[in-house]
C-alpha cells in the first residue's frame, strides 16, 4: 500500500476549507436548495439547531444528509408545485447519523479512508488549534503556500502524527466539513505516489460494481425514486435487449439534479417516463420553447428570478427550466428509441469502458464533480452496461496493497 496514506493526515485536506455553514432541520427546502447548489456531491448535512448561539458544530447534533434528489422526489410526491418548497427540511431528511463522523485533524489518511469505505460521507474536522506531525506537502500542491500552524512543531513531531488537537484556550473552535470529493482531489494530486495502481484497468482492480440499480426507459420516472440506492445515489435508465443485455440511456441521480429547478424537475418526475426524463436534457438548457404540457399556474402570478439552486416562484415548466429539447428535437420524441440519431447533450450519462484506467475514471468524476461513472463493455459499441464505479470502489482500489500490471499502450 502506498506510503502516502500513512504519511498524510486529515488536517492536510483542511487547507482553504471554509467553516461549516449549518443547515438546520427547521430551515425550509428553499434554504436547502441554495445550500446544495454550493456543496459537493449534490447533498448537504442537516443539523439540529444549536442550544446556544455560539455552540460549535458537533457530530451529536448531526441528523442526516439531504440531497437534490430527495427534494425533487418530495416536491413531486406532494403535488402542490412550489408551495412544497416551503416545507421544513425535517420533513424530508432521513435520519442517518452514521453518514458523518467527527474526527481529529491528526487522524491518518488511511484510517479516514477506511471510514469512508464503510459508508461515512462527511468528516467534521476542527480547524483551530494545532497538531503535531502535520505534513506540508499537500498544502503546497493545493493552496500554493505552507500550512501555518498555531504553534511550531517540535523536532520529534514526525513520531506523533496522530496526537489529538490542543485548542488554544479562550478561542472559539472552528470546524470544516470534508467530503469524499476532497479526498478524491487529494488522491489526484498524489497519482505518482500511488503507481502503478492509477494506470491499471478498473476491471483488473475489481473496481466495477455489478450490483447497480436500474429502471426500464418505458417505466414511470417516479419508479426510479423507489429504487435509488444510498451509494451511489443513482439509477440507470436502460433498454433491455432480447439477449438480456442492458443499454444505458441516462440516469436519474443526485448528480443530474444538482442545481436544477426542483419544481420543474418534480413535475417531470411525476408526469414523464424515465426515458423521456433523461433523454430530453440539453447540455446548457438554452432552448426556451416548451416541449411538454405546462402545469397549471395562476396567470396573475409574477415570475421571480432567484439564484441557481432555488426553485423559482410560479415558473412555468419549459425546456429551459431543466434543459429539455427544442421543438425540432421534440418532433423526434415519438421515436425516442432511436436516440443515437440526435444530440443528447447533458442527458448522456457519464460513462467509461471496462478497459479504462483508474486515473482516467478519477479524473472524469472530479472534472464533472460527479459521484459515479457508469461502466460499459469495452467490446460493445452500443453502450452495454456492466456496472458502476463510485467513491467506494475508487477508495477500495486506491488502497490495494497489490495490483495487476499497468496497461500498456
Residues 1-55: tens digit of each pLDDT: 568 888 899 999 998 898 999 999 999 999 999 999 988 888 999 999 988 888 8
Number of C-beta neighbours around residue 61 at 10 A: 19
- Selected residue with higher pLDDT from 67 and 317: 67
| CA nearest to 180, candidates 13, 9, 66, 347 | 13
For the stretch 121-174, pLDDT in tens is 999 999 855 554 444 444 444 443 333 433 333 334 333 334 444 444 333 578
Among 126-130, 279-283, 376-380, top mean pLDDT goes to 376-380
Q: For the sheet containing 214-216, what is the strand order?
A: 214-216, 234-240, 246-253
Give the CA distances from residue 115 to residues 99, 111, 181, 371, in Å, rounded to whole numbers and listed in that order.
10, 7, 15, 17
Mean pLDDT along residues 185-201: 92
Confidence of residue 336 (pLDDT cuts 50, 70, 90): very low
**Mean pLDDT (whole number) for 92-96:** 95
pTM of the model: 0.75
Confirm or reject CATH 3.30.70.590 for domain 3-129+174-195, answering yes or no.
no
The domain covering 214-281+349-399 belongs, at the CATH homologous superfamily level, to: CBS-domain (3.10.580.10)
Q: How far apart are CA 395 and CA 182, in angstroms?
A: 12
> Quick check: 374 pLDDT over 70?
yes
Say if residue 258's pLDDT is above 60: yes
> Which CB contacts under 8 angstroms, 24+ apart, belong to 362-365?
362/184, 362/187, 362/188, 362/198, 362/394, 363/188, 365/184, 365/391, 365/394
Q: Is the pLDDT of residue 220 over 60?
A: yes
Section 316-322 average pLDDT: 39
In this predicted structure, which of 41-55, 56-70, 150-164, 199-213 has the lowest mean pLDDT? 150-164
Smallest CA-to-CA distance from 234 within 256, 249, 216 is with 256
- The percentage of the chain sitting over the pLDDT mark of 70, rounded to a whole number, equals 70
pLDDT value of residue 330: 41
| Per-residue pLDDT at 172 | 52
CB atoms within 10 A of CB 238: 24
CATH 3.10.580.10 residue ranges in the chain?
3-129+174-195, 214-281+349-399
pLDDT tier for residue 386 given thresholds of 50, 70 and 90? very high
Mean pLDDT of 99-108: 94
Helix 358-368 with 391-398: angle, nearest 10 deg? 140
pLDDT in the model for residue 245: 93
The pLDDT, as a whole number, for residue 168 is 42
Residue of 216, 222, 273 lying closest to 240 (CA atoms): 216
Most confident stretch, 48-57, 135-144, 191-200, 344-353:
191-200
Cell of 4: 502516502
The mean pLDDT value of the chain amounts to: 77
User: Cell match 417516479: residue?
Assistant: 222
Q: Taking 80 as the threshold, does the pLDDT of residue 188 lie above it?
A: yes
**Among the ranges given (77-91, 204-218, 238-252, 300-314), the one the predictor scored with the smallest mean pLDDT:** 300-314
Cα–chain center distance at 164: 30
Pairing of strands 214-216, 234-240: parallel
Looking at residue 304, its pLDDT comes to 40
**What is the mean pLDDT of the segment spanning 45-67?**
90
Give the tens place of pLDDT for each residue, 228-243: 888 899 999 999 999 9
Summarize pLDDT for 293-309 with one digit per residue, the tens: 444 433 333 334 444 44
Amino acid at each position: 500500500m502506498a506510503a502516502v496514506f500513512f504519511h498524510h493526515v486529515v488536517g492536510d485536506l483542511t487547507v482553504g476549507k471554509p467553516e461549516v455553514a449549518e443547515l438546520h432541520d427547521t430551515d425550509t427546502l428553499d434554504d436547502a436548495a441554495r445550500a446544495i447548489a454550493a456543496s459537493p456531491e449534490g447533498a448537504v448535512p442537516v443539523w439540529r439547531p444549536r442550544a446556544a448561539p455560539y455552540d460549535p458544530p458537533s457530530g451529536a447534533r448531526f441528523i442526516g444528509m439531504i440531497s437534490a434528489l430527495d427534494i425533487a422526489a418530495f416536491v413531486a410526491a406532494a403535488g402542490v408545485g412550489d408551495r412544497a418548497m416551503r416545507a421544513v427540511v425535517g420533513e424530508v431528511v432521513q435520519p442517518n447519523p452514521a453518514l458523518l463522523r467527527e474526527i481529529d485533524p491528526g487522524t491518518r489518511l488511511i484510517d479516514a479512508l477506511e471510514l469512508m469505505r464503510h459508508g461515512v460521507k462527511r468528516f467534521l474536522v476542527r480547524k483551530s488549534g494545532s497538531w503535531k506531525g502535520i505534513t506540508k506537502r499537500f498544502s503546497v500542491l493545493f493552496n500554493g503556500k505552507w500550512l501555518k500552524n498555531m504553534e511550531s512543531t517540535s523536532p520529534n513531531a514526525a513520531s506523533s502524527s496522530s496526537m489529538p488537537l490542543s485548542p488554544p484556550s479562550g478561542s472559539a473552535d472552528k470546524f470544516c466539513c470534508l467530503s469524499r470529493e476532497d479526498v478524491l482531489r487529494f488522491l489526484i494530486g498524489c497519482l505518482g505516489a500511488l503507481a502503478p495502481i492509477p494506470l491499471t484497468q478498473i476491471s483488473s482492480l475489481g473496481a466495477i460494481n455489478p450490483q447497480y440499480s436500474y429502471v426500464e426507459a418505458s417505466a414511470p420516472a417516479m419508479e426510479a425514486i423507489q429504487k435509488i440506492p444510498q451509494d451511489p445515489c443513482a439509477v440507470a435508465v436502460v433498454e433491455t435487449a432480447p439477449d438480456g443485455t442492458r443499454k444505458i440511456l441516462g440516469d436519474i441521480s443526485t448528480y443530474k439534479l444538482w442545481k436544477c429547478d426542483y419544481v420543474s424537475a418534480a413535475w417531470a418526475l411525476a408526469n414523464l417516463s424515465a426515458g423521456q426524463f433523461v433523454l430530453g436534457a440539453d447540455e446548457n438548457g438554452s432552448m426556451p420553447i416548451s416541449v411538454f404540457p405546462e402545469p397549471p399556474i395562476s396567470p396573475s402570478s409574477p415570475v421571480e428570478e432567484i439564484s441557481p439552486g432555488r426553485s423559482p416562484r410560479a415558473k412555468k415548466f419549459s425546456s429551459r427550466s431543466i434543459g429539455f429539447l427544442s421543438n425540432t428535437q421534440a418532433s423526434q420524441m415519438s421515436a425516442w428509441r432511436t436516440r443515437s440519431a440526435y444530440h443528447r447533450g447533458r442527458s448522456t450519462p457519464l460513462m467509461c469502458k471496462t478497459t479504462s484506467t483508474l486515473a482516467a475514471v478519477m479524473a472524469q468524476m472530479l472534472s464533472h464533480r460527479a459521484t459515479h461513472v457508469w461502466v460499459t463493455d469495452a467490446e460493445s459499441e452500443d453502450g452495454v452496461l456492466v456496472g458502476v464505479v463510485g467513491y467506494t470502489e475508487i477508495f477500495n482500489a486506491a488502497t490495494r496493497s497489490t495490483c495487476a500490471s499497468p496497461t500498456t499502450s
